[in-house]
Amino acid sequence: MDATDRTIDALELARRLVRIDTRGGDERAAADLVAGVLDSAGFEVRVDEPEAGRANVVARRGPAVPRVPVTLTGHLDTVPADPSGWSFDPLGGEVRDGRLLGRGSSDMKAGVACQLAAAVDAAAAAPDRPLQLVFTFGEETGCDGAARLDPASLVPADLLVVAEPTANRTVLGHKGTLWLRATARGVSAHGSRPELGRNALAALAAAATRVHGHRGWPVSPTHGPVTVNVGTFRAGVQPNLVPDHAEMGLDVRTIPGFGSDEAVAEIAELCGPEVEIERLVDLPGVATDPASPGVARVLELLAPGASAREPEYATYFTDASVLTAMLGDPAVVIYGPGDPEQAHVTDESCSVRRIDEAAAAFRRLLGAH
């Protein structure tokens, strides 16, 4: 394909991306595919590989200006998928009964493909119109790739559009994300004389129960309730040894007015003074005001009628948590063809109809900016 070819097939590009194995890493091959598409369309493309096999792509076209009107972004990694539990090949990229099948089809390679298809079209139609695209590695594990971007490689933007799965609904932000490790330390002893030790497992299990059962988390009128999930628990070596060390992992979703500092303080109080709390991932929430200048127009271009609906905010996190600061605090809209309920599931799939709709919506947006 050369720069005069105005149209690429978003579905076929999504199939190619699904067939590239980026389960938990090795995004370089997908980055090279994305970079090749954009380079052929006349974009200035930069591929950075800060870790072996893991790469970010930043592409830009149009004159250098203080800000670009639009930055499109998506991630190239997917969560793992064990083929033994699937009814089809998770890397097959098959289309069946109007759905694209495979790991990453909804989260979020179809969204990336739609953005690329629209960007190629926009570059051919208006080569001097500024446009920036950012595709990252390691989003699923805490926006690792976005955090490794060189801010100097990015131009500030007025609007950031994230192609995470929304079933083609416009979403104006999401909760913050806080991953914690809670550690209890005890004293080891023989299992037949537990009174001589101090059981770290029992202490942390009691703390986990208090956290899990807590019902006093605040609720935001826009983002909904704070949620806390006890996701991992590790302790003990064998039954006849009192465990002297125990760890649990917590996933906290924060809201405006109750951020990570407030969450850590509340969880520390629930766990008690003998439990150590360590932050592993701390990503701020995102909230775009629907009344901000230009936002209603963007919503209408992506999904006609969206500006008249109550604004929606997602429970999951996105790279916007990291990119907004790098891009000069743009308005953020999350919009993509993937089905939110398909993210991370066995036998993941995505509606072909929604892929076509999303590609057309991105073309409308870029044509107007």
56 plus 169 within the same structural domain? yes
Are 129 and 234 within one domain?
no
| Same domain as 186, residue 119 | no
Query: How confident is the model over 298-312, as a mean pLDDT?
Result: 96
In a domain, 263, yes or no: yes
Task: Say if 153 falls within a structural domain.
Answer: yes
Last residue of one domain, picked from the residues 251, 283, 315 = 283
Average pLDDT over residues 225-254: 98
pLDDT digits (tens, 9 = 90+) for 130-172: 999 999 999 999 999 999 999 999 999 999 999 999 999 999 9
Residue 346 has pLDDT above 60, yes or no: yes
pLDDT value at position 250?
A: 98
pLDDT band (50, 70, 90) for residue 8: confident
Tell me what the mean pLDDT of segment 209-230 comes to: 97
Distances (CA, A) of 76 to 151, 219, 310, 313: 19, 32, 30, 23
Question: Closest Cα to residue 247, out of 204, 213, 206?
Answer: 204
Q: Are residues 198 and 345 in the same domain?
A: no
Local confidence band at 6 (pLDDT 50, 70, 90 cut-offs) = low
What is the percent of the chain where pLDDT is above 70? Answer: 98
Exactly one of 27, 77, 244, 339 is catalytic; name it: 77
Statement to judge: residues 153 and 208 lie in one domain:
no
Question: Residue 311 sits in which domain range?
Answer: 10-174+285-368
What's the chain's average pLDDT? 96
Reply yes or no on whether 251 is catalytic.
no
290 lies in a domain? Answer: yes
Decide if 278 is catalytic.
no
Q: CB–CB of 134/57 below 8 Å?
A: yes
Same domain, 199 and 111: no
Q: Could you tell me if 56 and 34 lie in one domain?
A: yes
Question: Total structural domains in the chain?
Answer: 2
Q: Which of 260, 283, 306 is the last residue of a domain?
A: 283
Domain membership flag for residue 89: yes
Letter string b/e over residues 147-173, b meaning 16 or more CB atoms within 10 A of that residue's CB:
bbbeeeebbbbbbbbbbbbbbbbbbbb
Which residue, 283, 310, 341, sits at the end of a domain?
283
29 and 76 within one domain: yes
Same domain, 212 and 297: no
Catalytically annotated residue among 139, 140, 164, 282: 139
Residues 207 and 156 in one domain: no
In a domain, 5, yes or no: no
Confidence at residue 5, expressed as pLDDT on a 0 to 100 scale: 47
